[in-house]
Amino acid sequence: MGGARQPREDGPPPVPPSHQGCAIRSVRVQLPAQRGEPGGEPRGELRDRHEDGHHLHHLVWRLGPGVRVCSSAVLGGGIGPRAWILNAQVPGGYPRLDPDRHLAEIAAAEGLTGPGAGLMTAADVAAYTTGHDGGATATVTTGLGVRGWAAAPDAEVRAPHRPGTVNIVLTLPAALSDAALVNAVATATEAKVQALLDAGLDCSGTPTDAVCVAAPEPGPDGGEPFAGPRSTWGARIARAVHTAVLAGARPARDLS
């Protein structure tokens, strides 16, 4: 359930009184991998939560200071410093009309503070897949029940959609310029489409796919200037995303 709203630099939006009593209990399912050598990227942490009678999962990246994110996230989208990323599973037939506030509730239950980026999906987050290449790590949750082509007839564009969503979170140890961050999102999207086709699926994705790219803030040199698929970091991004999406898409093909 992608689509960026205006990014906030002062943390998640306040939780409205009507939702402050929402019961969210979260426990760690898998320990996060620790930072490796200096410059290594943070890894996601799978969490198990019970919310309003539903048993759900979410992934959390606790980025810490000095990291910025470029994303199409529904909460905290855009480019800017982010302290965390959240990819949260929601029930099918998601009834709420305030996903940004809902993500803020989950973030608050996790004790996350400061500005962050939040994604949602109806896919099984516990079935996430990963790809690694030269320091680039892609973590993907794959829901392809509503897959189709981006350039669709107008009637398809206006038709209501059931929850689906391919969410891609990329973490990098190298700083990227603003242009390279945007280029990284494009490269990740190209690699996603390539993986879907390689999996034998007749689609370019779902209407609500989202991407987050997290990288260190650049220093005086401005960061890596390129992230296209033939640049050093773009090639690594593409291979990592392709590996993760292909692993997640093959079960969807088998169920088709």
pLDDT at position 21: 36
User: For 29-110, where are the E strands, in sequence order?
Assistant: 45-51, 54-62, 67-71, 78-81, 84-89
Cross-strand pairs, 139? 130, 169
Check residue 37 and give its pLDDT: 35
> Which residue, 144, 176, 145, 135, is CA-closest to 245?
144
Residue 8 has pLDDT above 60, yes or no: no
Report the C-alpha gap between 65 and 42 in whole angstroms.
12
Instruction: Give the whole-number percent of the chain exceeding pLDDT 70.
Output: 78
pLDDT band at 36 (very low <50, low <70, confident <90, very high): very low
Mean pLDDT of 40-53: 81
- 88-92, 158-162, 200-204: least confidently modelled range: 158-162
Task: List % helix, strand, coil for the chain (3-state, nearest 5).
Answer: 25, 30, 45
Phi-psi region of 114 (alpha: psi -120 to 50; beta: other; left: phi over 0): left
Measured CA to CA, the distance from residue 185 to residue 248 in angstroms comes to 19
Alpha-carbon span 153 to 222, nearest angstrom: 41
pLDDT at 161 over 70: no
Rounded CA separation 105/10 (Å): 15
> What is the spatial distance between Cα 175 and Cα 65, in angstroms, rounded to a whole number?
14
- State the pLDDT at residue 154: 78
Write out the two tokens for 157: 């564009």
Q: 219 near 175, Cβ under 8 Å?
A: yes
Number of Cβ atoms within 10 Å of the Cβ of 228: 16
CA angle 101, 27, 212 (to 5 degrees): 50
pLDDT for the residue 16: 42
Question: Between residues 212 and 96, which one has the greater pLDDT?
Answer: 212
Read off the pLDDT of each residue in 202-226 and give the average, rounded to a whole number.
94
- Mean pLDDT in residue range 17-39: 45
Of 186, 196, 137, 131, which Cα lies nearest the Cα of 166?
Answer: 196
For the ranges 24-28, 134-138, 201-205, which has the lowest average pLDDT?
Answer: 24-28
Sorting pLDDT into bands at 50, 70 and 90, what band is 20?
very low
pLDDT higher than threshold 50 for residue 9: no
Mean pLDDT over all residues of the chain?
84
The model's pTM is: 0.83
The mean pLDDT of 35-57, rounded to a whole number, is: 73
Express each pLDDT in 58-91 by its tens digit. Answer: 999 999 899 999 999 999 999 999 999 999 999 9
